[in-house]
Amino acid sequence: ANEEESHDEL
Amino acid sequence: MNIFRLAGDMTHLASVLVLLLKIHTIKSCAGVSLKTQELYVIVFATRYLDIFTSFVSIYNSLMKLIFLGSSFSIVWYMRYHKAVHRTYDREQDTFRHWFLMLPCILLALLIHEKFTFFEVMWTFSLYLEAVAILPQLVLLQRTRNIDNLTGQYIFLLGGYRGFYILNWIYRYFTEPHYVHWITWISGLVQTLLYADFFYYYFLSWKNNKKLQLPA
C-alpha cells in the first residue's frame, strides 16, 4: 500500500 | 535532500535571520510590512500542522521550529515591542491582507492533492505563501528609499523559492512519480511576483545606487 505520503519539503 | 533544496532552505533561513538581525539590533522595522509577516505566520502555522504527527528528519523538524519561532517573534516585535513598533509605518502598510486569505482557502478547497484536513491546510499555505509578499512589495513602492537590510531580506526571500524550483526540476528527473503540479505552479507564481523587484535590485546593485522601485 502506498504509505501515507507526508510532505518531506519545508 | 539535494543541493538545490539545501541552498533554498539556507537562503530562506538567511532571509529571516537578516530581518531578525535588523529588528533586534537596530530596533527598527522601517520599510517592513507587518501584513506580510502576519501572513507568513499563518503560512508556517498551516504548513507545519503535522510537526508533531509526522517525523521526516531532525533537520526537517528543526527548520520547522526555526521558521515558526522566527516568524512569530518578528510579528511580536513589530506589534508589541515599543521601540520597534514606533518605527512601523502603519499609514503606508495598508494592504488588506485578510482578503488575500479568502481566495487561497477557496482555491485550496477546490484544488488539492487529497481532500483531508491536513492536506487542504497544507495546500492553503502554499497558495498563501505565493502571495504573502504582496503587502511588502506594495509598501516598497510607497516608501521611496529602503535600507539595505530590508532589500536583502526581500531578495533572499524571493531567491529561496527560486532554488526550490531547481530542486523540483532535479527531483522530477531523478525520482520516478515525483509530480506535484500544485507545488510547482504556486512556487513559480511566487517567484515571478519578485521578477520586477529582482530587476530593480540588480540595477541598484550594478549602478551602486539606492534601491528604488518606480512609483
Q: How far is A2 from chain B (nearest CA, A)?
A: 12
| CA–CA gap between residue B184 and residue B164 (Å, rounded) | 9
Chain B residue with Cα closest to A4: B54
| CA–CA gap between residue B17 and residue B21 (Å, rounded) | 6
**C-alpha distances in angstroms, B153 versus B63, B157, B172, B176?**
18, 6, 29, 35
The domain ranges of chain B are 3-206
Burial class of residue A4 in the structure, from the number of CB atoms within 10 Å of its CB (0-12 exposed, 13-18 middle, 19+ buried): exposed
Q: How far is A6 from chain B (nearest CA, A)?
A: 7
Q: Could you tell me which of B208, B182, B214, B176 has the C-alpha nearest to residue B196? A: B214
| CA–CA gap between residue B16 and residue B11 (Å, rounded) | 9
Residue whose cell numbers read 512519480: B177
Residues of B in contact with A6 (CB under 8 A): 50, 54, 56
Q: Are B16 and B71 in contact (CB under 8 A)?
A: yes
Q: Residue A8: which of B60, B122, B164 has the nearest Cβ?
A: B60
The interface predicted TM-score of the complex, written ipTM, equals 0.86
Burial class of residue B13 in the structure, from the number of CB atoms within 10 Å of its CB (0-12 exposed, 13-18 middle, 19+ buried): middle
pLDDT tens track, chain B, 215 positions:
999 999 999 999 999 999 999 999 999 999 999 999 999 999 999 999 999 999 999 999 999 999 999 999 999 999 999 999 999 999 999 999 989 999 999 999 999 999 999 999 999 999 999 999 999 999 999 987 788 899 999 999 999 999 999 999 999 999 999 999 999 999 999 999 999 999 999 999 999 888 888 87
Contacts of B14 (CB under 8 A, 6+ apart): B156
Q: Residue A10: which of B50, B54, B60 has the nearest Cβ?
A: B60
| CA–CA gap between residue B14 and residue B69 (Å, rounded) | 14
For chains A and B, count residue pairs whose Cβ atoms are closer than 8 Å.
18
